[in-house]
Amino acid sequence: MGSFVANVTFDCRDAAAVARFWHEVTGYGIELVPDPGNHYWVLTPSEVDFPRLVFVTVPEAKSIKNRVHLDVVPRDRSQQDEIDRLLDLGARVVDDRRSVEPGGWVVMADPEDNEFCVEGGSE
């Protein structure tokens, strides 16, 4: 038997702000864990226990492209409607890959420039 992924952890300058952004994106439950060394935020999906999204404050800013990223798939709206919603939450478009090969997705960045992709939606 192998391992399972418990958490996907984001290093952040402002963990609370980034956790709130991703809470709005996913609808996952949000909880502050009061660790004496460094409080951190945990987002847990309601359907399953793992993987959770964890947001930890670190002193340094992001400096290079992510080597790992999340793919977001809208559940109840079109891809464009989800992109518009994410822009309103503070994301920005990095690369629109909808009309190129390979493509079909839009690369976005959260408020601290962590890249993620928005795939096609349900509509």
The yes-or-no verdict on residue 117 having pLDDT over 60 is: yes
Which among 10, 20, 24 is positioned nearest to 54, based on CA atoms? 10
**For residue range 35-63, what is the model confidence (pLDDT) as tens digits?**
888 889 999 998 888 899 999 999 988 88
The predicted pLDDT at position 121 comes to: 63
For residue 103, give Cα distances in angstroms to 32, 82, 86, 95, 98: 37, 17, 20, 10, 5
1-60, superfamily in CATH?
2,3-Dihydroxybiphenyl 1,2-Dioxygenase, domain 1 (3.10.180.10)
**CATH code of domain 68-123:** 3.10.180.10
pTM equals: 0.88
Domain ranges of the chain: 1-60, 68-123
Instruction: Judge if 1-60 and 68-123 fold alike in CATH terms.
Output: yes
**For residue range 92-101, what is the model confidence (pLDDT) as tens digits?**
999 999 998 8
